[in-house]
Amino acid sequence: MTRKLLTLLFFLGSFLLHSQNLVWNTDLSDAFIMSDAQKKPLLIFFTSANAGQKIQNEVFTTPDFAVWSRDNVILLKLDLSDASLTDAEKEKNVMMKNALGVEELPQVCLVMITIKKNKPTISKMGVVAYKLGGAKKWISDSNTVLHPSSE
């Protein structure tokens, strides 16, 4: 009985630890370079201090999201209320928000980045809104955006 409990705790602990190891980039330029180099779409999470937390609590903190994001996207979190950012960084983040047509926060956009001659090209793939249903539903919706022809 003790052995089974310890085994269960080990597996649960590894899942929880894994889900907390997400690496959210916070710099546009670095994330663009990573996305282009790895040929993975960029998941841009636009948020602010007064934005709702449901998507973070019910999707981004789950082991399912950790595994899915590691295999499918580069994560970029742009907190538009972050006081530690320079004015230039804030301006770049707001310009990106406006360029992608983001009006409400929080919002998730999926984009593909290609860099040629040090100039990035951004191709918007779509927006994935938070809906009731948890991480599995959100991941399914995201996969539909990432792979529209697979339906």
Q: Specify the CATH number for the domain of residue 137.
A: 3.40.30.10
Please count the structural domains in the chain: 1
Residues 29/96, Cβ–Cβ less than 8 Å: no
pLDDT in tens, 66-109: 999 999 999 999 999 999 999 999 999 999 999 999 999 999 99
Asked, for residue 83, whether it belongs to a domain, the answer is yes
Across the range 39-44, mean pLDDT stands at: 97
Task: Using the predicted structure, report yes or no on whether residue 18 has a pLDDT greater than 70.
Answer: no
Burial class (CB in 10 A: 0-12, 13-18, 19+), 92: middle
Across the range 105-115, mean pLDDT stands at: 95
Residue 40: which domain range?
A: 22-141
pTM here? Answer: 0.83
Task: Using the predicted structure, report yes or no on whether residue 5 has a pLDDT greater than 60.
Answer: no
Asked, for residue 17, whether it belongs to a domain, the answer is no
